[in-house]
Copies of this chain bind each other. A is one copy, B any other.
Amino acid sequence: MGQRLNGGYMPRSYFGDVRQLHLFSEMTEDSYEQLMRGSYVQNFPPQIDMIHEGESSDFLHVVLSGAVELYASWNGRETSMDIVRPISTFILAATIKDAPYLMSARTIEKSRIALIPSQDVRAAFDADNDFARAIVTELAQCYRTVVKTHKDVKLRTSLERLANYLLRQQVRAGGADKFDLPFEKRVLSSLLGMTPENLSRAFKSLIPYGVVVDGRAIHIQSPSDLREFAKPSPLIDDRGSITVGGTVGET
């Protein structure tokens, strides 16, 4: 699935957004300059494989626009691990540890990605104390998100995971009772750890709780009924919602 793509160097001005990330905002101007010197921005069409698990981590990636699917494979099977949306980094841990990627990454939409050489990140980590501290915050955040995801999978049935996912999306949509799924249902099914067929049936099972689905359009007719069934917990479902400029909310 997906193919590789080369080329696409962009002017330096495109890095503007990167500086707004908490990870980089605390850096000295010096080390930020140093870090961006070897970096570049690439535009990717949808469905392009950018990195593959097992490879060594040459670049820290920053999603500037679009969306990237992190996925993993084993023995001919494949599962979606996370969807990364702007503005966020991915594979930070592999970069810092200079260890192989544990996940593969592909675009699921047309995306603009900043690529920062891993060795430069590690150099900045050694040289800039504030940058090192920012990385701690970022990693702790990532760690807690994975733990929550893992709890989700181990403690809930697929139907419960879907119900809680919809409630989380509703929060993201500002509490509106109507919103669109942010990607294809087959991606969602893999993210939730189920088959597309199972997801399709799960949506039907949520009709009694006031969930109406039309294509990607979701209508939560009775949030209270859905919440009563889903029993969302802040210790599983409060995922850091991202706004430009940093992370918002407890995580």
Q: Which residues of A contact B (CB under 8 A)?
A: 53-54, 72-75, 77-79, 81, 92-94, 96-97, 99-100, 102-103, 125-126, 129, 132-133, 135-137, 139-144, 146-151, 153-156, 193, 231, 233-236, 250-251
Contact = CB atoms under 8 A, between A and B. Distances in A.
B155 A153 contact: no
A235 B151 contact: no
Contact of A144 (B54, B77, B81, B93): B93
Which among A79, A147, A231 has the greatest number of chain B C-beta atoms within 10 A? A147
B136 A102 contact: no
B231 A151 contact: no
Given A74-B155, A129-B129, A156-B74, A99 B250 contact: yes
Contacts of A151: 72, 74, 79, 81, 102
Given A77-B155, A93-B139, 8 more contacts: A99-B250, A100-B250, A102-B235, A135-B136, A136-B136, A136-B139, A139-B143, A143-B146
A19 to B, nearest CB: 21
* Identical subunits present: 2
Contact of A129 (B132, B135, B231): B132
A233 to B, nearest CB: 6
Contact of A102 (B74, B97, B147): B147
Contacts of A97: 137, 140-141, 144, 251
